[in-house]
Structure 1
Amino acid sequence: MNFRNWMKSGDPWIWMIGGALGISLIMVVGLLSLIAVRGFGHFWPAPLIETTVTDSDGQTVRLLGELVDSETLPAERVRESGLAVDPDATLVTRHLFKIGNREVNSRDFIWHLESRLGDWSYPEGAVMLERREWGNFYGFLERLERDGELLVEGEALWDELQNWIETTTELAGDIRRIENDDIGRINKQLEELRLIERGLEFNQVRGAELESAMAEVNARRAELNADYDVLRQQRNELQRESRRTVLIARDVNGESVSIPVVNIVMASQNNQLGLGGKLAFYGHRIKDFLTGFPREANTEGGIFPAIFGTVTMVLIMSVLVTPFGVLAAIYLREYARQGPVLKAIRVSVYNLAGVPSIVFGVFGLGFFVYLLGGSIDSMFFPERLPAPTYGTPGLFWASLTLALLTLPVVIVSTEEGLARIPRTIREGSLALGATKWETLWKVVVPLSAPAMMTGLILAVARAAGEVAPLMLVGVVKLAPSLPIDGEFPYIHLERKIMHLGFHIYDVGFQSPNVEAARPLVYATALTLVLLILILNLTAIAIRNRLREKYRSESD
């Protein structure tokens, strides 16, 4: 076969398509692998390195920390930064250490030239303490004190410290429960009493009716204040109890530091961990990352509020967009008269799918938040003004904006699914005596359900990754509470939420601690990808079940 016949056979194009597909798969797998290694590799217990550093004045200090990164640079570039380098050197290697101890050092991370570092060692007694404030501490344990008196030291110190960390963590949880749940519930009821007073003022209630209502309000407020005093006393007692136990540790240069045990999240002797211990440590840190709350300007702690907010918003968006998109597609395909007006509507729908997402955010802010939300506040919550309830960005407006953003995708997919239903099926149903309505809802719509699910899958994939419009209509850096809790009405659509996409943007570009934020950006990005994958696989499973169900019924 000559070259011309080989080209006409189509084999080169098949190989080209296969090669392009293979390259695409390699790129996707490589990208995900890079994100996974740089993200979740951050949680693996790195060895604690002890070494010496000689500064430009010839003074030597000791250093203890984790090796984060190493790089080799041209010596000229290092000289331009003001550092002294061997004049004969052309390349210089430097290492980035995470040294923590923020109360002693001015920063968590520091670069050091390899030529100024002494020999490296891995002391077995070195510990890493992850703290709720002031970042990590790297050093050596000395003793535990309670109320200023020695509690334990020596070989029993490590096991006793682990027990006290567990105890104080429970105390911290009790304090958080009292502050967020119990005291928060009382504050909400006090706010409702204040709104009742304002409602009486708005309704111009006078005379005996006003006195009776105010007497009930004042009596209820007195009960709530009494309950609040009891809870505040309990909280203060728990706080005093949690601060009684203090860990005395010293850094690598011998300076002692007092750390309240309640401020310690976890302690680890990385250099003494075997493979099993490292795996347990790794799993524990990933669990804390996925189920914990953020700390230290989102550069430490977990991302659970962002995961919860993303899932809640996508589910509400799906509930909103599916019926509107399906009904619009059914009307356009089955009922609307074909003509130039319908063609213009379809062109508008197609063009709407290409509008930049930030435009939807601006529209949502102006129309949903300010116009609709402001009207709702004026009609139903006048006593709360000027503090807005729905006239401010929140979960509902974010979900509604994303529903509008993804509406064209659902309409187009549903229309295509309806168009693929053979005309003979419709005619057969009508011939058997069914009405057009019965044919549509009992025959046509069920058969096109897989196409509707395809539209929903595409909508979920796009909505979960959007960031720009959400910054305007309800997503914030740190939400004070989750949108779903045990308080009536349980789903609080007016609350602001956190979102994984915005969390990535905030940590990556707005963080004051760039080195600490970098691995969290990768880990959060991988979490977002996996979350979208889980949502899509769930929708795909539902679609396949519907397809098999109606295929078997048609057979």
Structure 2
Amino acid sequence: MTSWRRQGEGGWPWLAAGSVALSLLALLALLVLLGSRGLAHFWPAPVEVVTLESGERFAGQRVRQERIAGDPQVDVLYRTGNRDLDGSYWRWVGAGAIDTRRYPDDLLVLEREHWGEFLGRLVALRAAGDAVPLPAASDEAWHVLRERLTRVEALREQRRQLSEDVIAPLARRLAALRSSEALDPARQQTLTEQWEAARQRLDALDTALARDALILESVDGQRLEQPLAGVLAAWRPNAMSWVDRLLHWGRGVGRFLSEGPRAGSLEGGVWPAIFGTVMMVLLMSLIVTPFGVLAAVYLNEVARQGPLIRLVRIAVRNLAGVPSIVYGVFGLGVFVYGIGGQLDSWFFSERLPSPTFGTGGLLWASLTLALLTLPVVIVATEEGLARIPDQQREGALALGATRYEMLRRVVLPMAVPAMLTGVILAVARAAGEVAPLMLVGVARLAPQLPLDGEFPFLHLDSKFMHLGYHIYNIGFQGGDVERALPLVYASALLLVVVIVVLNLTAIFLRHHLRARHRAPER
């Protein structure tokens, strides 16, 4: 500090280092919060059988406990499930009203397609109309249930593949053939026969799925018959070892990353949202990069410097501060209703009034965000061009290169790191934007990906899901805040990870090109 004071620097180095440290600590705290709250959702919590002083019993998984200010009693929140039996999914209980807590090994948790989770015991298994009583606490019942669940999972996967890979494409081809002016009866007959055969196979799979059912019982004695086709997973948390719990947690995280949402986005995974976010950012980057680079090259290398160019630079920098919702309104009016509506009238008139490009979709969302991030790319690229020494340009021209060759072989390669810096900033901003996407193409639920095996493979007119809008949807539009909260944390952590991965890819590429062309350090 004494040497810094002698040099006139004072305590500014310490202040700068402390600011960086605080920023890193804040970022680390954010990641720890998101990770601990989000990833803990997939850990199999033990199931308690709670007996109250009144004699009432219920099974539940402890979530948290709270103390209201001024009230000495501690209230405990349990996730009880069994909504189809009790009408509620959560239960608050005063800690003082609890008599005993037990953790029986035979209690199981069922993850179901409808009504959420079930907590209780297995009484019997029914196959082809015959009930087979099995002791609820026996390992034999548990092994039989797991075997039948494996069978159901295989049948469910066959049904999904048949529906998505065969029936859905045949339905689209039939619809396109019927809407075309030149109707081919022979082709239509062939497609109809194929569709009917696929439907028969689908009906056979549905019959096989409906074969098994479970007879379940809650701890308070209520019984329920649950079709096994509606059971997605089953586990006994109280009987699981740490290795089993860790494997269950890994499977839960994997399903969260690979499956689509269900039950109003309060269950299932976020794979369509991940795909939609990454695809939109990649399309946006492919659109904005050439336009931003060309604009920066013109402003810095081609245009004659003067008041008009200075005015253009001021306008570009001001555009970077325009609220994003304004770009969303512009995209809705110009891209969706203007250009999209005109494309429908030119090329898809037979489908009107059902719009094809005259509604929100992946293309218009990418164009809107490209327009939103265009000033960022222009400013970053122009600053990189301004840092290239004039001796580089003069040396190339002195060796006989034309102005075009000087730009293409000397200036632009040295400015590539600056271009990628602009792309990194654009990706960081675009990946988290939600407001403009609500107007130009994002959907609350779009389980079908805009990518398939039919030409043109990537359907730019399709609606898509986005991680940012998914977080907003489940956090503020869902009906069950307690169920949505862990998914909000997990989705937010995933959004941060996606942005970091995209940015790190561009950063590594920028470092490689900077070392290759020996561009000046920023």
Fold conserved (TM > 0.5)?
yes
The 10-residue stretch of structure 1 (443-452 or 141-150) with the greater mean CA deviation from structure 2: 141-150
The 10-residue stretch of structure 1 (7-16 or 109-118) with the greater mean CA deviation from structure 2: 7-16
Residue 363 of structure 2 corresponds to residue 368 of structure 1? no
Q: C-alpha displacement at 1:151, in angstroms? A: 4.8
What letter is aligned with 1:382?
S
1:477 aligns to what SS in structure 2?
A: coil
State the identity %.
Answer: 48
The 10-residue stretch of structure 1 (363-372 or 60-69) with the greater mean CA deviation from structure 2: 60-69
- CA deviation string 1:536-555 (max 9, x = no partner): 000001111111111299xx
Separation in 1, partners of 2:104, 2:42: 21
Residue 146 of structure 2 corresponds to residue 162 of structure 1? yes
Partner of 1:324: 291
What letter is aligned with 1:472?
L
Q: How large is the RMSD of aligned CA atoms in angstroms?
A: 1.8
Separation in 2, partners of 1:473, 1:244: 45
Separation in 1, partners of 2:88, 2:289: 50
Partner of 2:94: 113
Separation in 2, partners of 1:251, 1:460: 50
Of 177, 180, 183, 1:193 maps to 177
Residue 521 of structure 2 corresponds to residue 526 of structure 1? no
- CA deviation string 1:63-93 (max 9, x = no partner): 1011111111135xxxxxxxxxxxxxx4221
Q: C-alpha displacement at 1:181, in angstroms? A: 2.5
Partner of 2:449: 482
Residue 394 of structure 2 corresponds to residue 399 of structure 1? no
C-alpha contact (below 8 Å) 2:361/2:462 kept by paired residues: yes
2:454 aligns to what SS in structure 1?
A: coil
Of 59, 63, 66, 1:64 maps to 59
C-alpha contact (below 8 Å) 2:424/2:506 kept by paired residues: yes
Partner of 1:440: 407
Separation in 2, partners of 1:274, 1:501: 36
What letter is aligned with 2:389?
P
Partner of 1:36: 35
C-alpha contact (below 8 Å) 1:416/1:451 kept by paired residues: yes
Partner of 1:180: 164
C-alpha contact (below 8 Å) 1:152/1:160 kept by paired residues: no
Partner of 1:224: 191
Q: C-alpha displacement at 1:155, in angstroms? A: 2.7
What letter is aligned with 2:37?
R
Quick one: structure 1 residues 141 and 440, their matched pair in 2 at CA, closer, same or farther if it must change by over 3 Å?
Answer: same
- CA deviation string 1:317-350 (max 9, x = no partner): 0100001100111111111111111111111100
Residue 273 of structure 2 corresponds to residue 306 of structure 1? yes
Separation in 2, partners of 1:371, 1:493: 17
Give runs of aligned pairs for residues 126-525 of structure 1, distance below 5 A.
126-151=107-132, 153=134, 154-197=138-181, 213-214=182-183, 216=184, 218-525=185-492
2:368 aligns to what SS in structure 1?
A: helix
2:57 aligns to what SS in structure 1?
A: strand
Q: C-alpha displacement at 1:480, in angstroms? A: 4.3
Separation in 2, partners of 1:512, 1:7: 63
The 10-residue stretch of structure 1 (5-14 or 526-535) with the greater mean CA deviation from structure 2: 5-14
Partner of 1:21: 20
Separation in 2, partners of 1:273, 1:318: 47
Separation in 1, partners of 2:63, 2:343: 52
- CA deviation string 1:135-191 (max 9, x = no partner): 001011122210122457343111121121121112112222222331111111111
Q: C-alpha displacement at 1:442, in angstroms? A: 0.7
C-alpha contact (below 8 Å) 1:292/1:301 kept by paired residues: yes
The 10-residue stretch of structure 1 (116-125 or 454-463) with the greater mean CA deviation from structure 2: 116-125
What letter is aligned with 1:48?
V
What letter is aligned with 2:157?
G
Separation in 2, partners of 1:415, 1:111: 60
Separation in 2, partners of 1:385, 1:295: 31
- What TM-score comes out, normalization by structure 1 length? 0.90
- CA deviation string 1:285-309 (max 9, x = no partner): 0001111111110000000000000
Separation in 1, partners of 2:129, 2:120: 21
Residue 495 of structure 2 corresponds to residue 551 of structure 1? no
Quick one: structure 1 residues 357 and 552, their matched pair in 2 at CA, closer, same or farther if it must change by over 3 Å?
Answer: closer
1:103 aligns to what SS in structure 2?
A: helix
Quick one: structure 1 residues 2 and 515, their matched pair in 2 at CA, closer, same or farther if it must change by over 3 Å?
Answer: closer
C-alpha contact (below 8 Å) 1:370/1:391 kept by paired residues: yes
Residue 89 of structure 2 corresponds to residue 122 of structure 1? no
C-alpha contact (below 8 Å) 1:38/1:523 kept by paired residues: yes
What letter is aligned with 1:146?
A
What letter is aligned with 2:57?
R
The 10-residue stretch of structure 1 (305-314 or 223-232) with the greater mean CA deviation from structure 2: 223-232
C-alpha contact (below 8 Å) 2:415/2:519 kept by paired residues: no
1:51 aligns to what SS in structure 2?
A: strand
C-alpha contact (below 8 Å) 2:424/2:507 kept by paired residues: yes
The 10-residue stretch of structure 1 (179-188 or 340-349) with the greater mean CA deviation from structure 2: 179-188
What letter is aligned with 1:176?
R
Q: C-alpha displacement at 1:2, in angstroms? A: 9.2
Separation in 1, partners of 2:279, 2:219: 46
Separation in 2, partners of 1:411, 1:341: 17
Q: C-alpha displacement at 1:247, in angstroms? A: 1.5
1:221 aligns to what SS in structure 2?
A: helix
C-alpha contact (below 8 Å) 1:74/1:92 kept by paired residues: no
1:364 aligns to what SS in structure 2?
A: helix
Q: C-alpha displacement at 1:221, in angstroms? A: 2.1
Q: C-alpha displacement at 1:36, in angstroms? A: 0.8
Separation in 2, partners of 1:521, 1:364: 28
List gaps (5 residues or longer) in structure 1. Answer: 76-89, 198-212
Residue 64 of structure 2 corresponds to residue 97 of structure 1? no
Separation in 1, partners of 2:91, 2:519: 65
- CA deviation string 1:444-471 (max 9, x = no partner): 1001100000000000010000000000
- CA deviation string 1:479-499 (max 9, x = no partner): 141011111110000000000
Residue 70 of structure 2 corresponds to residue 45 of structure 1? no
Separation in 1, partners of 2:490, 2:404: 50
Separation in 2, partners of 1:189, 1:14: 68
Separation in 2, partners of 1:7, 1:479: 64
C-alpha contact (below 8 Å) 1:373/1:392 kept by paired residues: yes
1:130 aligns to what SS in structure 2?
A: strand
Q: C-alpha displacement at 1:435, in angstroms? A: 0.4
The 10-residue stretch of structure 1 (20-29 or 398-407) with the greater mean CA deviation from structure 2: 20-29
2:221 aligns to what SS in structure 1?
A: coil
Partner of 1:204: none
Separation in 2, partners of 1:37, 1:388: 44
Partner of 1:10: 9
C-alpha contact (below 8 Å) 1:245/1:260 kept by paired residues: yes
